[in-house]
């Protein structure tokens, strides 16, 4: 089974990462990295109360899921020899984006992103911030020049979403599109 990496940071919008995880588990072995802050946001925004990243296995009970803490720099993902299709960071905090843009690989999320960039695999960041400052934009520009895809979770309305789930599925569908993963999570223009 092909492998893909998903990191969820402590930015608002953890629901996007969880919905993406749910979809990816149907196709890939998912290596999931959770930041310490993401656990707090999950509790606040999604009523998911877990003490450690590994506790998420109780909710997503799949054999094709490996879960890591951001502190686990001994994980296989931290090595360039680890093979994966690429990496999503959804949502991506500006702290994480800045660390990646400036080569500051101090945890498993930023180290794995660093590896993905150096190995020339696809890296997709979904920064959840508004408005963007000049610092944010300059860091994003640095990353785009390295072929990193910056895909903020911005919903569209041409498909006439009726529910919040429709808006979440649109964003997740667009993220999957960026990685070249076929999906039918939203109605495309002209359908």
**Burial zone of 55 (CB within 10 Å; 0-12 exposed, 13-18 middle, 19+ buried):** middle
Q: 67-95: string of b/e by CB count within 10 Å (b at 16+)?
A: bbbbebeebebbeeebebbbbbbbbbbbe
Residues 6 or more apart whose Cβ sits within 8 Å of residue 29: 1, 2, 3, 4, 64, 65, 66
Is 21:6 a contact under the CB 8 Å cutoff?
Answer: yes
Q: What is the pLDDT of residue 50?
A: 87
Q: What is the pLDDT of residue 136?
A: 98
DSSP state of 66: E
Structure tokens at 137: 């934009």
Is 99:62 a contact under the CB 8 Å cutoff?
Answer: no
Q: What is the pLDDT of residue 49?
A: 86
Measuring CA to CA, how many Å separate 93 from each of 59, 110, 180? 24, 11, 23
Residues 6 or more apart whose Cβ sits within 8 Å of residue 37: 9, 10, 93
CATH topology of domain 3-179: Rossmann fold (3.40.50)
Mean pLDDT split into 10-residue runs, the chain, 191 residues = 96 96 96 95 90 83 92 95 97 98 97 98 96 97 98 94 96 98 92 77
Q: What is the pTM of this model?
A: 0.95
Q: What is the pLDDT of residue 1?
A: 83
- Where are the alpha helices (H) located in the chain, listed in sequence order? 14-24, 36-46, 94-101, 108-118, 134-144, 164-179
């Amino acid at each position: 089974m092909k492998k893909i990496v998903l990191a969820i940071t402590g930015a608002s919008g953890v629901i996007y990462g969880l919905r993406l995880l749910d979809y990816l588990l149907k196709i890939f072995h998912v290596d999931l990295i959770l930041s310490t802050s993401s656990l707090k946001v999950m509790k606040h925004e999604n009523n998911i109360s877990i003490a450690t990243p590994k506790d998420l296995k109780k909710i997503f009970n799949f054999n094709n899921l490996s879960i890591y803490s951001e502190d686990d720099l001994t994980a296989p993902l931290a090595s360039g020899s680890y093979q994966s299709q690429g990496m999503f960071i959804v949502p991506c905090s500006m702290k994480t984006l800045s660390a990646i843009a400036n080569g500051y690989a101090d945890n498993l999320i930023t180290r794995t992103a660093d590896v993905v960039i150096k190995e020339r695999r696809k890296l997709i960041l979904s920064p959840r911030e508004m408005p963007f400052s000049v610092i944010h934009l300059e860091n994003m520009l640095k990353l785009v020049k390295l072929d990193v895809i910056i895909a903020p979770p911005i919903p569209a309305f041409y498909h006439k979403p009726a529910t919040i789930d429709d808006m979440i599925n649109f964003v997740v569908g667009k993220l999957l599109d960026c990685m070249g993963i076929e999906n039918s999570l939203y109605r495309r223009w002209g359908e």
